[in-house]
Every structure is written in structure tokens, then in C-alpha cells.
Amino acid sequence: MKRVLPLTVAAALLLGAGERRSGYDDAGPETRAMQDDDAANPAFLWVQQGESLWAAVEGAAGKSCASCHGEVARMRGVAARYPAFEPKLNRPVTIEERINLCRVDHMGAPALAWNDDGLLGLSSLIGLQSRGAPVAVEPREPLLSEGAKLFRERMGQLNMSCAQCHEDRAGLKLAGSLIPQAHPNGYPEYRLEWQGMGSLYRRLRNCMIGVRAEPFPPNSREAAALALFLAVRANGMKVETPAVRP
């Protein structure tokens, strides 16, 4: 059994014989233009909020993010490594989980909900510090293989797996929309469909509801496993946070 799993992971990571395409490459020219111009990219409204929160003192410890981390520019390259291993949970965690762990453990501040604008602000601000850098996530087991398995597992009333759309049919159309390869290199991102900002977790939730499956709970092991698998699959691609997608 142990010998089979790495092969499954390797196969899933290969993405067929074709090249890897970012969601940016598959988006229309207007959407790309929105991402290319920081003055026109609505995600920067959240980045601005992140900047305020970074400096804000919050919680029983009387600290801000800046108290420990200094200027946010020092977070350069950090987001590119996430999901990264967290000893406390004995598994890789997403950047959002990491931010909440910092808040709870070091600031004595409450954790922020998965769709909280403040959390999106912080994760987009930190992600921005890695923009242009290659995704460089450690392929940590056993979570990576769990994620690979989830990627290929059929789920929901529609009984479809991630792979059926995003690997087998990437580049084809689903109801007029182009199916992307589903790389997470732009998250958190401004999605025109949402008319707002969202994390990778929001998108995974979106997809699972789309196939009429009960979505994995926020901050769950499964959600982290899928996030890890997707990130490792995108290793080497450029971080585009905060991206704009249709």
C-alpha cells in the first residue's frame, strides 16, 4: 500500500503531457488587465485593510502583527511556502490557519472566520509579499497523498472528482466557461463571480457545492490536504496574489 501512494501522487502531479497554465493564462484580456494594474485591481482594497490590521494592536497580549514581524515586507517569500508544516497540529497548515494560530497563541486575539474580510486582508497582504516568486511548497507526507487521493475522489450528487474537470477536461468548456487547471497560485483572489475577495478555501467550497457535495469544514484536515496537494502541483509557477479571476 505504501508503495502505491507515492505513484498516485506522482501521476496526479504530472498533469498529463501538457504545460501548466495559470488561471491568468486562461482568463480574458480585460480580466488580465485588471490584475496587471494595482490601481484597478479591487483586491487592493483588501490589501489596504490588511495593512491597517498588520499595524493594529489587538488581543490580551497587547501586540500587533508588526510587534513580532516588523514591517510586512519582511514576509517576503513566506506565502510561497504555504501550506507549511505546523508542529502544533502535526500537519501542514494554510496561511489562513497560520495567521489565526498567531493571533490566538501570540496575540491573545480571537481567530477570524474563514470568510472574514480582515483575514482576507491579512492573507492578501502577506501573499503580495511573495508575488512573482515561485511557489515553493514542501511535499509533506502523509497529508500530500491524502490530498492527491481527495483530488481524484468522486464526490457529491453529481459524483464528480476535481480531476475529472481540472485535469481530464482542463481547457475545455463548462457551460461557456473555460475550465482552468485549478492552480492556487493567485489566492486570495478577487473573483468577478463573487464580486469580492475569497480564499482558496472559498473556492474549494464553491466547487464542492457545485457538485452538490457537503463541503469540507473550514480549517479541516481535508481542506488543508487538498490545499497542500494543489500547491505542490503548482510548485515552480509564479505567485500572482492577489489575482483577479472571472
Residues engaged in binding other proteins (CB under 8 A): 27-31, 33-34, 37-42, 44-45, 48-49, 155-157, 174-177, 190, 192-196, 205-207, 209-210, 212-214, 246
179 touches 232 (CB < 8 A): no
> Quick check: bond before 6 cis, omega within 30?
no
Instruction: Please state, in angstroms and rounded to a whole number, the distance separating the CA atoms of residues 206 and 40.
Output: 25
Q: How far is the CB of 177 from other proteins (least distance, A)?
A: 5
Residue with cell 501512494: 5
Our CB check for other proteins shows the closer of 16 and 194 to be 194
Report the 10 Å Cβ neighbour count for 69. 14
Q: How far is the CB of 62 from other proteins (least distance, A)?
A: 26
Q: How far is the CB of 6 from other proteins (least distance, A)?
A: 27
Pick the catalytic residue from 65, 162, 165, 207.
207
Our CB check for other proteins shows the closer of 206 and 235 to be 206
Instruction: Please state, in angstroms and rounded to a whole number, the distance separating the CA atoms of residues 242 and 130.
Output: 10
Written as one string, the DSSP assignment of 141-197 is TTHHHHHHHHHH--BTTTTB-HHHHHTTTTTSEETTEEPP----TT-SEEETTTTEE
Closest alpha carbon to 140 in 221, 216, 83, 219: 83
Q: How far is the CB of 34 from other proteins (least distance, A)?
A: 7
Q: In the annotation, is 68 catalytic?
A: no
Our CB check for other proteins shows the closer of 19 and 214 to be 214
Our CB check for other proteins shows the closer of 82 and 114 to be 114
User: What are the φ/ψ torsions at residue 85 (nearest 5 degrees)?
Assistant: -65, 135
Residues with catalytic function: 207
